[in-house]
Amino acid sequence: MAIRSAGNGSSTMAHKPLIVLPERYRSPLEALLGDTLAERVTLRGFTTLEEAMALAPEADIGWFDEFAGGIYSKGPRAAVNARWINTVIVGFDAFPIDEMRARGQIFTNGAGLIPDVIADYAVMGALTLAKRLDEVVRAHDRREWLRKPPGTFEMRGTKALIIGYGAIGKEIATRLQAFGVEVTGVRRSADASAFVIGADEWRGRLAEFDWIIISAPNTAETKAMIGPEELAGMKPGARLINVARGDLVDQPALIRALESGHLAGAFLDVTTPEPLPSDDPLWRAPNVLITMHLSGPSQNSMFERGAARFMRNLQHYLAGEPLEHVADLTRDY
């Protein structure tokens, strides 16, 4: 089915675009539109999956960020006539990328939207593992006064390898460096002057690092990138932090590395699958802390940040100009 054009250059759009979005977003977005933009678009909100699925085929612009009923993934699939799909979600996992690419749809996601928030969470994980704050909290719940600290690992003078040195990875590095940690990043293109190594170098250097931090995208290339060989190659007593996706780590191999004592601990904000079943052996692995994919939601500014970006892009869209932060649908991220 043909997609309606957004127009070219600064010419006036013949079609008044319909924006479909969660009802809870509608009033705040209307306030941001102002009188001029409000006259050029139509906003329709949904509160249920049924409403979302009924509105989706009519949308010119779809913003389906509602997790109830799986709307966030089902809405884009049903938005067959949309010119533009927007989300604050970073990963591509939930979206019908092949279908969107075939339709020629524009896709703007949340890449780079909250790197500071996720970086804060990752570094919280490092501090938790270093001082075993999880054990302190459990003692508190038992009303037990600990006689000695459960964790005495010091940050200063340690070395961290950050696999995935994009916006999030760089924010993590800045925070760790403030604690006296020496940071090496990993990305596709090496840059020795910035202490960044290439994707083909990091495996041979794993034994150098006290911290292995994963913030890479979930792609065919990164799936299970941390497997038995990589875990065995890590420094004895190293600590693993994953704020990316669970698929990047071979979980059975990780369990074995923790049970053997080769790794001192793991802070996992993400797992496979999610939610992790209550009987999964990962829950019982020693020295692991699972935080239920909370790094992104651990903020209250997502809508404000996402709406500000959306408003800039809406003005571009109405003017027929290229949008900002457009995801490349020919890649996995």
3: pLDDT strictly greater than 50:
no
**Domain locations in the chain?**
18-113+299-318, 115-290
What confidence tens digit (pLDDT) does each residue in 164-199 have?
999 999 999 999 999 999 999 999 999 999 999 999
8: pLDDT strictly greater than 50:
no
Say what the pTM is: 0.90
Q: Give the pLDDT score at 7.
A: 44
In this prediction, what percent of the chain has a pLDDT beyond 90?
91
Please tell me the CATH code under which domain 18-113+299-318 is placed: 3.40.50.720
In this prediction, what percent of the chain has a pLDDT beyond 70?
95
272: pLDDT strictly greater than 80:
yes
Give Cα 140 to chain centroid, integer Å.
32
The answer to whether 274 is a known catalytic residue is: yes
Name the catalytic one among 144, 274, 304, 324: 274
154: pLDDT strictly greater than 50:
yes
Confidence class of residue 153 from pLDDT cuts 50, 70 and 90?
very high
9: pLDDT strictly greater than 70:
no
Name the catalytic one among 44, 293, 305, 325: 293
The answer to whether 40 is a known catalytic residue is: no
The answer to whether 245 is a known catalytic residue is: yes
Name the catalytic one among 83, 239, 245, 309: 245
CATH-assigned architecture of domain 115-290: 3-Layer(aba) Sandwich (3.40)
Query: Quick one: average pLDDT of 214-243?
Result: 96
Q: Give the pLDDT score at 14.
A: 62
Same fold, 18-113+299-318 and 115-290: yes
